[in-house]
Amino acid sequence: MITVDIQPQLEKDFKEIVQEFYNGDESAAINKAIKIFIRIEKERNMTWQQRFDRVVNRIRNQVEASGGITEEEIEAAIRRVRGRKNARRSKGCD
């Protein structure tokens, strides 16, 4: 068991969040906060490429879990991106 002293305002804010989002379950809120803290600290020394890789893999997993992307969806996305690039070029933004 860990015991910590925290500033009164932090404690007040924490209790409000626990009530609003965790149905009063302080253990669940603290566990979530510690997981977030650990993830942030582990990522502190990562390069932007490593963070980007992690995000891309997370997105890839979500797409695969939802059934993937059809060829038509890929083509539509490519057309949208190319359309935006062409619009920027015609405005002289590139």
**Domain chopping of the chain, boundaries:** 8-69
* pLDDT for the residue 81: 92
Quote the pTM value.
Answer: 0.50
CB 21 within 8 A of CB 30: no
* pLDDT for the residue 94: 57
Report d(CA 29, CA 76) in Å as an integer.
Answer: 41
User: Which residue numbers in the chain have pLDDT < 50?
Assistant: none
